[in-house]
Structure 1
Amino acid sequence: MAHGSHQGRSAVPGTETTRPTSRDVARVAGVSQATVSLVLGDKWRGRVSERTAALVRDAAQELGYRPNLAARNLRLGRTRTALLVVPALTNEFFARVYTGAARVAAEHGFGVVLYPSPEGVGPAKDPFASARAALDGVIASSMAAEALTAIRGTDLPLVMLDSDPADPAPAARVNLDIADGMRQITDHLLALGHRRFVHLASAVTSWTFDVRARALRSALATVPGAELRTVTAPLDVAGARAAAEHALTSRGPRPTALVCDDDILAAGACKAVRRLGLRVPEDVTVTGFDDLALATAVEPELTTVRLPAEQVGERGMTALLDVLSGRRPEATDLPVALVVRGSSAHPPA
């Protein structure tokens, strides 16, 4: 009997169940086992063509082949686990970021552990006895790098999402063009004729909200007759409603547009307008940011800025894999898009 003739067969007597091997994948794809190893180990770029890599992946999927990750991990000295740190689990944006990251991770035999920072944007505690012993890297969304010291120390690679580009700590970064999103909103409202603005700003201190404030101020600074007032609010509907009511009833001419830092604040602003016996958008225009599911649940539906959250997660995980493999991660900002709906209109005459 030839050596290896039982390779992949069940060890249980009387059964003939076979588990596909890398040799089977190579045979179906018409390539060598070395090529299969390169592709499934994600080391094929620059050594194997895209077409050949696709053939190997298709063959592995068709056969139901799963590499022996335990053995591979021993060779690599890695856990094949990434930690995704987010400020909160209650925000849909971060759930979508996780979905994108987990999708890319699964394609490369990695797992993603989702961890909400207990203090929001404050320092994040080590979620394990020592996260450094259990992880290959950390991805953090909409946080400051110094908040992650307890988790990553100095030896784990860090990928930052939606964060300050001046921060030197991350090994890679994935940002959205947040400033352009606010410019798109401002251009839309100016074209409608608005000149009296209130910025309903998040009370959370973070780079992404600072960028929104700076972009709005900058866009209005050179517009003749434009007025801008800023009112801060906690990131919840009740707090936003109270802050918007205050802004709409303060002395002086009523603002015609409430520009909100996100859709949750915008929902609160819409409630404030209605409670004061006014209408959106006939009396007051309200805009959001993020394009959460909430944006189409309110009536009228929100004019807002769509952020490609899943793509942020995909890019973040890809960047971490690049860092771990010694490749240079892609460094371009992701574009965002204005979505015009029923909550914006010309100001009242």
Structure 2
Amino acid sequence: MQTREPAGGARPTSRDVARAAGVSQATVSLVLGDKWQGRVSERTAGLVREAAKDLGYRPNLAARNLRLGRTRTALLVVPALSNEFFARVYAGAAAVAAEHGFGVVLYPSPEGVGPAKDPFASARAALDGVIASSMAAGALDAIRGSDLPLVMLDSDPSDPVSAAQVNLDIADGMRQVTDHLLGLGHRDFVHLASAVPSWTFEVRAQALGAALRAVPGARLRTVPTPLDVGSARESAERALTAPGARPTALVCDDDVLAAGACKAVRRLGLRVPEDISVTGFDDLALATALEPELTTVRLPAERIGETGMSALLAVLEGRTPTPGDLPVTLVLRGTTGPVAS
């Protein structure tokens, strides 16, 4: 049997399958919906399946479910599974989803914060909506197409693509860190900045820079580093041994980077916080595993997952999600102290 691809490389439809098999669209629906027995001959069913296979056709399950009821499934896309923050976001989203009879599929983007590949043959065929944490909306194009509602978490609020935004007040978190360290007398700062190109890290850098520019005599040097302990240790060692006055505070974009910074301080024979104060961001379990325990910004990861799922449910029901950023909290522990006299 000869088949012909749809013009222009378009996604094949049931009409294309019907034309290729020489049958009606109703027959295609019966065969591919597995309702053909007793109504269509085995030969005809075989022709339909062969045509569908040759064309690469997949039934539009989303359209079927509009008639039968939603799939009641959301996709949560995250940059990585190795970060505890995203596991907690998932836990929050899944808890709210379960209360409403929904399931949540967790999907780490293979390219990190880059473009996420469609995890299914067609995500639109299996989902009611997409939630994405700490990614750019454009990275979700292959998944959401133009018809799935998208809720963005901890992402650029100026992006017009999403149906709803749920953000943390990241800038305020960095301002709390800065005010705390300035109050302890620190004026010479190094920003151990994540090299991951993400809106949430850009906001941290902008808030820190703006806060210190307003303080006479304050100095800030930014040191980008990959988001792992070993790289952070090496970067912090270079910053602490560079020519000129040694910084008294290392402000880190993440608790993982802060752990590397603390190791660097100790390897140089210095003390935290007597010689160098160190701060983190996220309040992961790692923060209390360090000695001394880490001063860091607590992000309500479960809460942002809950709010994100609630926002998606609101969109699906035709309601307007509640706007507003979620507050964050500076947690004071043992890695910050007054500047040594």
The match for 1:340 is 332
Of 172, 187, 190, the residue aligned with 1:180 is: 172
Q: Which runs of 5+ in 2 are unaligned?
A: 1-64
Distance 1:74 1:243 in 2: 53
Structure 2 residue aligned with 1:168: 160
Deviations 1:317-342 (A, max 9, x none): 00000000000001110000000000
> How far 1:348 moved relative to its partner?
1.3
- How far 1:251 moved relative to its partner? 0.3
Match of 2:96 in 1: 104
Partner of 1:234 in structure 2? Answer: 226
Q: Which residue of 2 aligns with 1:134?
A: 126
Compute the RMSD of aligned alpha carbons. Answer: 1.1
Deviation of 1:243 (Å): 0.3
1:151-300 paired onto structure 2 within 5 Å = 151-300=143-292
1:75, CA displacement in angstroms? Answer: 5.1
Q: 1:77 Cα shift?
A: 3.5
How far residue 347 of structure 1 moved from its aligned partner, in angstroms, is: 1.1
Structure 1's unaligned 5+ residue stretches are: 1-72
Q: Is 1:317 the counterpart of 2:317 in the alignment?
A: no
- Secondary structure of 2:77's aligned partner: strand
Residues 253 and 109 of structure 1: CA distance in aligned 2, closer, same or farther (over 3 Å): same
Amino acid at match of 2:161: A
The residue identity in structure 2 corresponding to 1:166 is: S
SS across alignment from 1:126: coil
Write out per-residue CA displacement over residues 218-265 of structure 1, whole angstroms, 9 at most, x where no aligned residue: 000010110000001100000000000000000000000000001000
Instruction: Give the AA of the match of 2:244.
Output: G
Amino acid aligned to 1:200: L
Amino acid at match of 2:159: D
Measure, in 1, the Cα distance between the counterparts of 2:157 and 2:291: 37
**After the TM superposition, which residues 21-170 of structure 1 pair with which residues of structure 2 at under 5 Å, given as runs?**
77-170=69-162
Query: In the aligned structure 1, how far is the partner of 2:316 from the partner of 2:67?
Result: 15
Residue 54 of structure 2 is matched in structure 1 by: none
1:74, distance to aligned residue in structure 2 (A): 6.5
Distance of 1:298 and 1:202 partners within structure 2: 20
Secondary structure in 1 matching 2:269: coil
Write the letter of the residue equivalent to 1:211: V
Alignment partners' CA distance in 2, 1:95 and 1:159:
17
TM-superposed deviation, 1:76 = 5.6
Alpha-carbon distance in structure 2 between the residues aligned to 1:252 and 1:109: 60
Q: Which amino acid aligns with 2:138?
A: E
Q: Distance in 1 between matches of 2:101 and 2:190?
A: 48
Equivalent position amino acid for 2:114 in 1: G
